[in-house]
């Protein structure tokens, strides 16, 4: 539906469970953003399923008045796939973290994305293992000091959005836990038919505090965030700078915009269906470039569960269900007092 009708309120999505994260954790803001967004989607709690793995973020299903599974480490995508195939009408949301989704669950995340299961995947990226007391994670930056890397991490961090794009995801977005535009990203993800991957920069107040402040802090946002909108020029720094394509190197560059004339500066207009530009936006090094926030890529294709349902429907045409015939099909044997008769 295009014009969403509110059939629920925020209260309909809140549970009676005490929300238990560390005071100041970014998870609180994300939870409230989701609970505020659900009534605007025109969906119902009894048709909604939240599935999580293991980690701080994975407490999420307890706080949503919907169906929910708190599963095992890295396996939320597998459980979500089973649930969606069993009931394709379910509105499935996966809640995961950088460790849960990209370490032990990396293979499950990859296969869910390449299959294109119709669901929303929210990856809370805090660049640390918070639940197990602050070890470095797959997204921790080089030099990160933790109990498991006392001299600083030497691993090159994984890029969640680059991983998703390489795995075949057809919707990729970024958001910030306290950013007011996060609800719009969630709405866009839900509107996408297929696997919608959202990386959310989430502040771990205890073990990796303010690690995203360089671009997430409100006071510097105008110059450090590139807020993307489909069909709009890629401008930042209050419209005085923009992102253009360097045709000699086939790479992106920052350009100055004089007197608001972004066309003369060669600023790119964002096209969410352009996979090549999405890849370049994902890989833009922060510092030299702003951080791209919003929907980076959105180009739907047929979903996995729709293909499975269609295949099963075609396979069943003209056939009568017969469990006994199925059990008796193929090689069988009979066991009696004299032993099995093969």
Residue-wise pLDDT tens digits, 223-280: 999 999 999 999 999 999 999 999 999 999 999 999 999 999 999 999 999 999 999 9
| SS3 of 16-58 | CCCCCCCCCCHHHHHHHHHHHHHHHHCCCHHHEEEEECCCHHH
Q: Is residue 173 within 8 Å of residue 197, measured between CB atoms?
A: yes
- Domain tally for the chain? 1
pLDDT for 16 equals 96
Judge whether 286 lies within some domain: no
pLDDT for 340 equals 62
Judge whether 311 lies within some domain: no
Q: Is residue 245 within 8 Å of residue 281, measured between CB atoms?
A: no
Helix, strand, or coil here: 176? strand
Judge whether 247 lies within some domain: no
Distance (Å, whole) CA 216 – CA 161: 17
Sheet of 251-256, strand order: 235-236, 241-246, 251-256
Distance (Å, whole) CA 45 – CA 38: 9
**Residue 167 pLDDT > 90:** yes
**Residue 2 pLDDT > 60:** no
Judge whether 113 lies within some domain: yes
pTM of the shown model: 0.92
Judge whether 35 lies within some domain: yes
DSSP H/E element including 68:
strand 67-70
Tokens 């597998």 -> residue? 78
Judge whether 328 lies within some domain: no
CATH of the domain at 198: 3.40.50.970
- Give the domain range for residue 15: 10-211
Q: Is the dihedral of CA 217, 222, 223, 224 positive or negative?
A: positive
pLDDT for 1 equals 40
Distance (Å, whole) CA 101 – CA 161: 12
Query: What is the DSSP code (8-state) at residue 90?
Result: S
What is the mean predicted confidence (pLDDT) over 69-87?
97
Task: Give the side-chain half-sphere CA count within 13 A for 303.
Answer: 18
Judge whether 225 lies within some domain: no
**Residue 327 pLDDT > 90:** no
Q: Is residue 79 within 8 Å of residue 90, measured between CB atoms?
A: no
Q: How far is CA 160 from CA 97, 174, 320, in A?
A: 10, 10, 47
Judge whether 252 lies within some domain: no
Distance (Å, whole) CA 37 – CA 129: 28
**32 phi, psi to nearest 5 deg:** -65, -35
């Amino acid at each position: 539906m295009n014009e969403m009708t509110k059939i629920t309120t925020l209260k309909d999505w809140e549970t009676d469970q005490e929300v238990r994260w560390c005071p100041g954790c970014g998870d609180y803001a994300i939870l409230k953003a989701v609970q505020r967004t659900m009534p605007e989607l025109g969906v119902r709690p009894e048709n909604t399923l939240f599935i999580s793995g293991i980690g701080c973020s994975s407490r999420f299903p307890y706080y949503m008045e919907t169906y929910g599974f708190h599963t095992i480490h890295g396996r939320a995508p597998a459980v979500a796939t089973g649930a969606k195939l069993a009931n394709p009408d379910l509105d499935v949301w996966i809640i995961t973290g950088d460790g849960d989704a990209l370490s032990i669950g990396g293979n499950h995340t990859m296969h869910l994305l390449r299959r294109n299961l119709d669901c929303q995947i929210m990856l809370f990226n805090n660049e640390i293992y918070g639940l197990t007391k602050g070890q470095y994670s797959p997204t921790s930056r080089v030099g990160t000091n933790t109990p498991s890397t006392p001299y600083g991490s030497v691993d090159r961090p994984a890029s969640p959005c680059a991983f998703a794009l390489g795995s075949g995801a057809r919707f990729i977005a970024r958001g910030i836990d306290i950013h007011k535009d996060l609800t719009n990203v969630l709405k866009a993800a839900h509107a996408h038919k297929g696997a919608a991957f959202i990386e959310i920069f989430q502040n771990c107040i205890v073990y990796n505090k303010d690690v995203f402040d360089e671009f997430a802090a409100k006071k510097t946002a105008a110059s450090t965030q590139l807020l993307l909108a489909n069909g709009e020029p890629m401008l930042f720094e209050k419209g005085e700078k923009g992102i253009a394509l360097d045709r000699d190197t086939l790479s992106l560059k920052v350009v100055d915009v004089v007197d608001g004339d972004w066309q003369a500066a060669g600023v790119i207009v964002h096209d969410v269906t352009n996979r090549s530009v999405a890849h370049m936006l994902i890989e833009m090094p922060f510092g030299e470039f702003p951080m791209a926030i919003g929907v980076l890529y959105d180009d739907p294709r047929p979903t996995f569960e729709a293909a499975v349902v269609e295949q099963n429907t075609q396979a069943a045409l003209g056939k009568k269900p017969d469990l006994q015939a199925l059990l008796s099909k193929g090689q069988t044997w009979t066991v009696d007092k004299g032993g099995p008769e093969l």
